[in-house]
Amino acid sequence: MTDEPRWLDSAEEQTWITLVAMLFRLPAALDAQLQRDAGLSHFEYLILASLSEAPERTLRMSVLALLSEGSLPRLSQAVGRLEKRGWVRRTPDPTDGRYTLAILTDDGFDKIVATAPGHVAEVRRLVFDPMTKAQPKQLREIGARVLRAVDPNGPRPGTHPF
């Protein structure tokens, strides 16, 4: 900690600056597209999308929090907003009253169906179209390594929990 740190050489610094810029700008761009075209934040979109792919379009709040990459209080508030808009409803889990089930309504499903194509198109435009054929795999492998370092015990993303 107080030892001489190994500084970043100039190539590493370029990489780092580029990555930081991406960490700031890409989420902002995704939020902007979703907000503009669907009135949703990226986080809210992930909630609806996760539910739409779950069996019965239903998930426990705690599972949904993991899938949508948010804290439980944040999720609770976001689902409250989505509930007010009629896209999600909540009921206590009948098999265990401590859990709360979040359920995508039919309107919510329609909302995702209407929203997803535009969002996927934006993801293509910003991420996949600019990459060479080889780069997606490189990015996936780099991401997996970084995520392992960030949270060694975290579930490998893409390991679907159902």
Partner DNA sequence: ACGTTTCACTTCACCGTTTAAGTCAATCTA
Partner DNA sequence: TAGATTGACTTAAACGGTGAAGTGAAACGT
Q: Is 97 a residue that touches DNA (CB under 7 A)?
A: yes
Among 64, 45, 58, 68, smallest CA distance to 91 is for 58
From residue 21 to residue 60, the character string flagging contacts with a second copy as x (rule: CB under 8 A) and all else as - is: xxxxxxx-x----------------x--------------
Residue of the chain from 79, 82, 88, 104 that contacts DNA (CB under 7 A): 79
Among 68, 107, 112, smallest CA distance to 87 is for 107
Q: Is 25 a residue that touches DNA (CB under 7 A)?
A: no
Q: Is 105 a residue that touches DNA (CB under 7 A)?
A: no
Q: Is 136 a residue that touches a second copy (CB under 8 A)?
A: yes
Residue of the chain from 39, 80, 92, 143 that contacts a second copy (CB under 8 A): 143
Residue of the chain from 34, 51, 54, 70 that contacts DNA (CB under 7 A): 70
Residue of the chain from 61, 63, 103, 127 that contacts a second copy (CB under 8 A): 127
